[in-house]
Structure 1
Amino acid sequence: MATQEVVGGLVKLSAVSCEIQAIVRSLKPMVEEMLNRSFSVFHAISYRSQLVAGQNYFVKVVVGDGDDYIHIRVLEPLPHTGEQPSLHKIESDKKLFDEISYFSESPHTQGTTCSSLC
């Protein structure tokens, strides 16, 4: 059964596809730079998406041994733009069972924003 997307709403939690894993891997250097950390493990394990003018992905990424996770927000622009996916926000200090929920670039949201780099 296909997941129905609603503009602006988050879709239920999904397993990571090869496409999402490739997007996440491509953003690893930027995440490492922003968090001033180097990751020996960097693997997306689940995500939620949001239909906008393109697609937002809110991705849970394991970044170390034990219970060390981050959530990243990635925008994949519409195909006709020819633009690559871009990192918009990182929430660090996450755990395996922390729910992936919407987070914006608002100053009220904890985490690191990449507006200066994106």
Structure 2
Amino acid sequence: MENKIGEWSLEMPVTQEIQKISDQVKPDAEKAVDQKFAVFTAIRYKVLSLCGGTHYLIKVNVGGDEYIHLKVVRVIIAEGNKNIELKGNQYPKTLDDPLTPF
């Protein structure tokens, strides 16, 4: 199900594309919370499409019962070669914490 431009989608199960995006921002997420994660498995996400790019909220399991929420942006016109950027995170989170815009 596609969301309308300017509206967050419902939470959806992760696709290979979303796991790849999560993997790309893992080093930035680890640096932001000053931790190394042995596990970094995306499990759910929401997407928001805007004219300049796509925004993602991604729930990632980082081991055991710990999760991190990532806010990631994929821009259409990127500086250099980086079109995926971590814009924020919320940590620690639980499986039951909803993905809400932050």
Deviating above 4 A after TM superposition, structure 1's stretches of 4 or more consecutive aligned residues are none
TM-score normalized by structure 1? 0.78
Q: Percent identity?
A: 32
Alignment: residue pair count: 98
Q: Does 1:40 align with 2:11?
A: no
Structure showing greater radius of gyration is: 1
Paired residue type of 2:71: R
How far does the alpha carbon of each residue in 1:19-66 deviate from its partner, in whole angstroms, 9 at most, with x for none?
A: 11011001111111111001011110000001112110000000112x
Paired residue type of 2:92: D
Higher relative contact order (CA 8 A, sep 6+): 2
Tell me what 1:88 maps to: 87
Change (3 A) 1:4 1:22: closer
CA displacement at 1:93 relative to structure 2: 1.4
Alignment of 1:1-118 (within 5 A): 3-52=1-50, 53-65=52-64, 67-78=65-76, 81-82=77-78, 83-103=82-102
Q: Structure 1 unaligned segments of length 5 or more: list them.
A: 104-118
Q: Structure 2 unaligned segments of length 5 or more: list them.
A: none
Which structure has greater strand proportion? 2
